[in-house]
Structure 1
């Protein structure tokens, strides 16, 4: 039977493959649980599964990304497919924009890459174990299309799903996953939760950067309890990933914030406000040594996955180590002793040490490990909002751009000039 899901319906059927359950990235769902998972759309096979649906949604290609290639299906372009209260990844046989109608199944996935749409959130209203018949072939076993059996349960069984073997000798069906009915309306509102991604320490000042959002916390440990001030910065919101998207380097006046794309300077004023200025539109790995900020590049060729070109070779830059001078210019550093000293000072962005040797860890929350090994969480929820003074860059006032600005600024025709006879 094929079901049609109208855009107004707010219950969504999602198939969770057994290998996802075995991975434990998604806890075995039970009725009443709140589930959050990225989704991938899989087109219906022939014969189609009994739970195959027809979805009416909006498709948008993932612009700038090369297609994938499937030996059986040919080229496939990645899209974001969006419905009412959900979105998923979809590999289509040609770039498509706008309203579409597609038949298939929404699969729970583990992948949250830079091009992944937001995960779906829903309350589990129904759980059904999907059993499948398999048949022997000269090269192994394969599923028998259209042979699914759905068994309703209250909770997902705790079994090893990837065995591809029947659970009992007298039952030929192999459990391959669970089908969830998710209520998209019975979910709490999403809060703007601070997710600690990077940390840096200078004396009693702890600076903590959100993993992806432009939110910076200052933790003053000289006070009991620590006084925490939140600063909303004029930075881009980055796409979340498992680790930090920015690093922070504390000093007595404030901190540096670096990313793959830029460098910002944050100075803490006497009244507690923060002055923020972008000083560089280049980025990369960074380290502060003797008060100077260094950007570090690779020294050897390596292979890298590029979203536009696939796997490519990347050669090292001509000057792998550069320092930001007083004029806010990046100057190559070629002295071997300085290069070695700077590289030796590099550290993970999510771990730093205080002057007494205590270890500060930013991994979702903020924790401190004492010299004895005891770990204590820091409550970041009780905080006040600090003022931010943004110093926006003015490329037209930069003396280095004087010659360029002269070509851009020319007198236009006077508003009251008579029309030309030519």
Structure 2
């Protein structure tokens, strides 16, 4: 079978352990699923194997993987008709290819920052069984012994518990689904609350990954919500939040691992926004009206997209403060560092002066000190106006010396040789 077809239905194998760790709910006929796919080259006789004509591109800047036999595998993306999958290739490739193999759901073999997710409607569900043999290293599912059984929905069971009772034992190892990538509703970009801050009656809510900022005036009944579309990057939605908001009387700070923006209210439904620095921190805190960025405070092991697992040492100056000139200055005073690090909080939770707890996890809720919980309707909102103050590095006096060294004098015509 060739995957590029008129109805665009893909066979996808879901291993049992993916269902065990709840990466994917047990699929049933008619379900709409949203998954990360991985392509694994295999024999064409394996159930679910098919030939795809697709475009391959390398995932740049990712370290190759070493196999036990010494072979190397480089991360690539395979892009087909209505779908995309990760793939580990034994050599760098780019362009149009034809591959034979099987698509797996819920497995990410690469360190891709933001793998493409595929949405589709489940048209068929089949339980896959393998004969299981005992080996010196434990139990092994024998390739080529697969049995398939059509079902309405994947069984809800613990798939990783293999109870071998006989020499000719067959074990359920996963489900094979037919995924219709055409029969899906149009994707709507809705607001997903990810970060919140409060100052008096003003509540600022940042989208989890998109550059939407909401201002909620809680003094109005019902609360008045104004939306601002900001000149910020679109971040990966894999985290609960990608930015932190700090509210004050004039507006709010928006901080991330990469930068800091200042957002000031200039009218009833108007703001100005300006990037004040192109550096960020692991987290940020406001102490005595000052914004502090906190980096790496102690050595740790981190997964690096280029090198895999690496040691990361503490920053020379883990705590920095944004001064009156909007420049980051190191903070080495132990008492100040202790106060700043003690102020660390979750970006999706903020506490008002009256004790109300605001939580931004998809929706926005407020819990009063008496335990009363209410949800703020963020869908009813108006569009505010935003003025973007763009920094001009050429006009910054601090860069005058740098600009002087960059200046190239126009060429002087040489005098003709007599």
Task: Give TM-score, length-normalised by structure 2.
Answer: 0.93
Q: Work out whether residues 13 and 48 of structure 2, in 8 Å CA contact, stay in contact via their aligned partners in 1.
A: no
What is the alpha-carbon distance in structure 1 between the residues aligned to residue 31 and residue 12 of structure 2? 14
Which secondary structure does the structure 1 equivalent of 2:340 belong to? helix
> Per the alignment, do residues 191 and 217 of structure 1 end up closer, same or farther by CA in structure 2, a change over 3 Å counting?
same
Q: Deviations over 1:325-380 (max 9, x none)?
A: 11111111122222211221121111110111111111122222222334332221
Residue in 2 that maps onto 1:251: 248
Divergent runs of 4+, >6 A: 168-171, 419-422
Residue in 2 that maps onto 1:327: 325
What is the alpha-carbon distance in structure 2 between the residues aligned to residue 202 and residue 357 of structure 1? 12
Q: Work out whether residues 7 and 180 of structure 2, in 8 Å CA contact, stay in contact via their aligned partners in 1.
A: no
Runs (5+) with no aligned partner, structure 1? none
Q: Deviations over 1:65-107 (max 9, x none)?
A: 1111121462111111111111111111112111122111111
Which secondary structure does the structure 2 equivalent of 1:294 belong to? strand
Q: Work out whether residues 9 and 181 of structure 2, in 8 Å CA contact, stay in contact via their aligned partners in 1.
A: yes
> Per the alignment, do residues 404 and 102 of structure 1 end up closer, same or farther by CA in structure 2, a change over 3 Å counting?
same
Residue in 1 that maps onto 2:95: 98
What is the alpha-carbon distance in structure 1 between the residues aligned to residue 240 and residue 379 of structure 2? 21
Which secondary structure does the structure 2 equivalent of 1:269 belong to? strand
> Per the alignment, do residues 164 and 254 of structure 1 end up closer, same or farther by CA in structure 2, a change over 3 Å counting?
same
Q: Work out whether residues 7 and 57 of structure 1, in 8 Å CA contact, stay in contact via their aligned partners in 2.
A: no
Residue in 1 that maps onto 2:385: 387
Runs (5+) with no aligned partner, structure 2? none
Q: 1:345 aligns with which of 340, 343, 346?
A: 343
> Per the alignment, do residues 73 and 88 of structure 1 end up closer, same or farther by CA in structure 2, a change over 3 Å counting?
farther
Q: 1:305 aligns with which of 296, 303, 306?
A: 303
What is the alpha-carbon distance in structure 2 between the residues aligned to residue 354 and residue 301 of structure 1? 35
How many residues of Structure 1 are paired with residues of Structure 2 in the alignment? 415
Q: 2:354 aligns with which of 349, 353, 356?
A: 356
Q: Work out whether residues 128 and 178 of structure 1, in 8 Å CA contact, stay in contact via their aligned partners in 2.
A: yes
Which secondary structure does the structure 1 equivalent of 2:123 belong to? strand
How far has the Cα of 1:139 moved from its partner? 2.8
Residue in 1 that maps onto 2:9: 11
Q: Does 1:36 align with 2:29?
A: no
Task: Give TM-score, length-normalised by structure 1.
Answer: 0.92
When structure 1 is superposed on structure 2, of 185-194 and 7-16 the one drifting more is 7-16
1:9-408 matches, cutoff 5 A = 9-44=7-42, 48-72=45-69, 74-109=71-106, 111=108, 114-165=112-163, 172-284=169-281, 285-408=283-406
Q: Deviations over 1:189-220 (max 9, x none)?
A: 11111111111111111111111111111111
Q: Work out whether residues 113 and 241 of structure 1, in 8 Å CA contact, stay in contact via their aligned partners in 2.
A: no
What is the alpha-carbon distance in structure 2 between the residues aligned to residue 298 and residue 116 of structure 1? 23
When structure 1 is superposed on structure 2, of 321-330 and 376-385 the one drifting more is 376-385
When structure 1 is superposed on structure 2, of 70-79 and 276-285 the one drifting more is 70-79
